[in-house]
Amino acid sequence: MLIKENSSILIPIDFSKQSILAIKQTYNLAKFTKCKLILMHADPKSDHDSEVELEQLAITTRQESGLVVETMNLKGDVYELTDIKAKELGSGLIVVGLDTQVRFRSFMGGTIVTKFIKEAPCPIITIRSTDNRNDCKNILMPIDLTIESREKVGTVVQLAKYHGASVKVISVFSPNDEKYENDLLPYVNQVKKFIKEKGVSCTNKSIPSNDVAEAIIKYANENEIDLIVQMIKKGGSIGEMFGPSLPLKIVELSNIPVLSVPPVKRESIRGGIH
């Protein structure tokens, strides 16, 4: 699934430092994709809560970015409403700031947040850090042997071309699974070749580890990664490598922005990725 151009980027706002930062980190991407920004605030009790504050934030955002900025003030749960509104609006991207001290299971309840991510109609960028990453020079793409895993390659190439970024492909395998490692290597090389043929700089790294999320995040921090791109399965499970909980764990723990992409098409690298 590519990030849709000439549409909108939906940003849930609760006026926390993370949500304000989420707005600022969309400026370049909104310009690349020719998207407008929609700042959405929701309150369980009222659709008039923080109206003045929301409009002032929109004014500041317009002045800073030069972008078209609209607002939505709704009554209800922000995570239940975000997917609904993104689908109604045909948004190309959701960008959400998550409090650095919050875990999913203690945040809004594991079921709500998991549902919010896996049922999103478009890619979602989650941001936990308070560091402002104005540019994107290095994109990390974890990959495994599942069919879904390859579907994010098109999005990664799209983002790399926008930013002039390099792509680092990482594959994590169990130290005791030699067969998986042997099967993975030629596939990773195929993916790297495909990305390079698109005119994007690409390297790959294989890491033996029994904790996939920890290995990915550690590598990202040691290699100046600006964005981690992963796949989300729709339906009854969420995940790609080593079980259904991995993408949620990466989103929960990563101090680096994470782009979670819902799968649409299942095509091989040879058949092209769109």
- pLDDT surpasses 90 at 161: yes
**pLDDT of amino acid 225:** 96
Angle at 4 between CA 63 and CA 135, to 5 degrees: 50
What percent of the chain is predicted at pLDDT more than 90? Answer: 59
19: left (phi over 0), alpha (psi -120 to 50) or beta: alpha
**pLDDT of amino acid 266:** 47
Name the nearest CA neighbour of 139 among 164, 105, 115. Answer: 164
Note the pLDDT tens digit of each residue in 204-248. 999 999 999 999 999 999 999 999 999 886 544 444 444 447 888
Gap between the Cα atoms of 73 and 144, Å rounded: 40
224: left (phi over 0), alpha (psi -120 to 50) or beta: left
Note the pLDDT tens digit of each residue in 87-102. 999 999 999 987 654 4
Query: What are the structural domains, with CATH classification, of the chain?
Result: 8-127 (3.40.50.620), 138-249 (3.40.50.620)
Gap between the Cα atoms of 13 and 133, Å rounded: 19
Q: List the strands of the sheet with 93-97, edge to edge.
A: 69-75, 36-43, 8-12, 93-97, 124-127, 258-261, 227-231, 138-142, 166-173, 202-208
18 confidence band (pLDDT: 50, 70, 90): confident
Those residues whose C-beta lies under 8 Å from the C-beta of residue 185, and which sit 6 or more positions away, are: 171, 206
Q: Which amino acid is at 198?
A: K
- Structure token digits, residue 264: 């649409």
Phi, psi dihedrals of residue 273, rounded to the nearest 5°: -120, 130
- pLDDT surpasses 70 at 273: no
> Who has greater pLDDT, 272 or 147?
147
Q: What is the dihedral of CA 42, 121, 251, 204, to 10 degrees?
A: -150
